[in-house]
Amino acid sequence: MKQLSLDNLRTFVSVIEQGGYAKAGEFLGRSQPAVSLQIKKLEEQIERKLFTKVGQRHLPSVDGNWLYPKAKAMLEMNDGIFRSLTPAPLSGRLRLGIPNEFASTLLPGLIGEFSARYPDVVLEVTSALSRELLHEAKRHSFDLILALVNPNEPTEGEVVIEDDVVWVSDSFRPFVDNPISLVLAPDGCMYRSRVIDALKQQTKAWKIAYTNADLTGLAAAINQGLGITALARSSIPSTLSPIAHPSLPVLGKVNICLFNQDTQHPVVSKTLAEFITTRLKA
């Protein structure tokens, strides 16, 4: 089966676009005799004359004009494959805002993998409550924000997953429901609001035994037997487990969203967003 040489086709296209054999040779880094030889081989293979010499100029023939757009398309397909498989190295500084609980569970593995693949990207990570990250006064301090949004609230963010909000405890400690002892983040936390609103609708006694904004602190308190908490299922650390009990109301769903801000490094931001999305959906 006959196969056209992409190298010969590139030379052919260069002769037309550069305006002659000599200029094509300069463009490709080849001598004029080498360019002439490649054109000759191409003409012999397809059995068509591709150029007509007018004075000192080589103008494409009828067959040359017919072949030119097809040769361009073949070269573009070839070059596009290599561009896709060999992406340009990413670099720049990216400011990521992420909820406290995901900073403890999602970040360690993700940041290690991302930094190993893109060592020239500097990540500046801030962990806080979703409400704080999305506050109008702060949100423009970030290039990319991962945040929790109630399903019934409109959002500008991209919903990565809809997750269950579940009760969480130390699996090695028995659940005590008289009263229900809670370990929660401070006011402004979505989980805290969801838990208190749900418990107020039933008659079971409850109390807040411990408050901490950091998931590590909450997990330590739960492991010491101070109470239980609520989290998105995808953010539960390995030291804790989801629980179900008749005394505990259903807490519903939460949307985990990504907010791409205006940034000087949109490609870097998009790449990190894809990393986070893949991890959350795994």
As a whole number, mean pLDDT of residues 85-89 equals 69
Give CATH for domain 6-85: 1.10.10.10
**For 211-225, how does the pLDDT look when each residue is reduced to its tens digit (9 = 90+)?**
998 899 999 999 999
What separation, in Å, do the N-terminal and C-terminal C-alpha atoms of the chain show? 45
Q: How confident is the model at residue 126 (pLDDT cuts 50, 70, 90)?
A: very high
Start-end of CATH 1.10.10.10 domains in the chain: 6-85
Distance CA 79, CA 90 (A): 20
Higher pLDDT, 204 or 169: 169
Residue 141 DSSP class:
G
Q: At residue 198, what is the residue type?
A: A
* Residue 279 pLDDT greater than 90, yes or no: no
**Architecture, CATH, for domain 92-282:** 3-Layer(aba) Sandwich (3.40)
Start-end of CATH 3.40.190.290 domains in the chain: 92-282
Residue 13 DSSP class:
H
pTM of the entire structure? 0.66
Distance CA 176, CA 123 (A): 42
Q: How confident is the model at residue 199 (pLDDT cuts 50, 70, 90)?
A: very high
Q: Identify the three-state secondary structure at position 74.
A: helix
* Residue 36 pLDDT greater than 80, yes or no: yes
Distance CA 138, CA 30 (A): 56
Cβ neighbours around 142 below 10 Å, total: 24
Is 11:58 a contact under the CB 8 Å cutoff? no
As a whole number, mean pLDDT of residues 237-262 equals 92
Q: Report the mean per-residue pLDDT for the chain.
A: 89
- Residue 166 vs residues 187, 217, 241, 250, 281: alpha-carbon distances, Å: 19, 19, 10, 8, 18
Q: How confident is the model at residue 120 (pLDDT cuts 50, 70, 90)?
A: confident
Parallel, antiparallel, or unpaired for β 241-243 and 92-99? unpaired
